[in-house]
Amino acid sequence: MDPQHLAALNAARAARRAVMLITDLTSGTERVVFEGAVVDDGLAEAVTSAFRSGKSAAIDSATASFFLNVHLPPPRIVVIGAVHISQALAALAEIAGFDLQIIDPRTAFATTDRFAGIDLVPDWPEDVLKARPLDTYTALVAVTHDPKIDDFPLAEALRRQCFYVGALGSRKTHAKRVERLLADGLSADQIGRIAAPIGLDIGAATPAEIAVAILAEIIQAFRRRSATSPAGDGA
């Protein structure tokens, strides 16, 4: 492999950017392509599909054969609120292959007894997200019902184009949330990305069922995410 290509792949992994090494199996030439970049050679559809699935594949175009070696950042879920839904979501996320972190400054809720073995941070989101920022391969789930805790990470998730942003609450609660986020400088289009009510409409009633609905909606958003939002240049 060309050392420059290897360096580009390693830099992309470190920056949590989706990247692909395309090898022409006929000529042996290689190139690095970032998710969202314009691709020619009749490969656009195959490249988009590979980025969405995360699966490498050999494909044929009209003129040559290629191998698409795709590298996706590990998708993660950041949950704001150490509540019963979060407990169930943590267990489900592990099964589905998502990294998960729970943030809640309310130490009465954020205890290791309730969240054994979970990446739990009993601190304010404003402080936690400075050390580990949100990105396009992160889903943000806000479930505290407390604007003082939920609003900042929701706004941050929208600004950083997280692939999923969801918030618990009634339509009346969300209407007030929309007013606050508009006042914070976010556009109506940005705020419109928030899944509220949160989760797919499966008639969920219990915390565990709501967690299933949330995870299903996260998976749907991840697999159907736009191939143009986290764009980069081909190398």
Residues facing residue 191 across a β-bridge: none
Stretch 44-61: mean pLDDT: 86
On whether the CB atoms of residues 225 and 52 are closer than 8 A, the answer is: yes
Res. 215: pLDDT tops 80? yes
Consecutive H or E run containing 180: helix 171-183
pLDDT band at 231 (very low <50, low <70, confident <90, very high): very low
Mean pLDDT over the full length of the chain: 91
Cα R_g (the chain), whole angstroms: 20
Res. 206: pLDDT tops 60? yes
Hey, what domains does the chain have and what are their CATH numbers? 3-71 (no CATH), 76-223 (3.40.50.720)
Res. 49: pLDDT tops 90? no
Res. 59: pLDDT tops 80? yes
Most confident of 18-27, 63-72, 103-112: 103-112
Give the type of residue at 37: A
pLDDT at 234: 38
pLDDT at 16: 85
* pLDDT tens per residue, range 111-167: 999 999 999 999 999 999 999 999 999 999 999 999 999 999 999 999 999 999 999
pLDDT at 227: 56
CA angle 125, 178, 83 (to 5 degrees): 40
pTM surpassing 0.85? no
pLDDT at 52: 84
Res. 220: pLDDT tops 90? yes
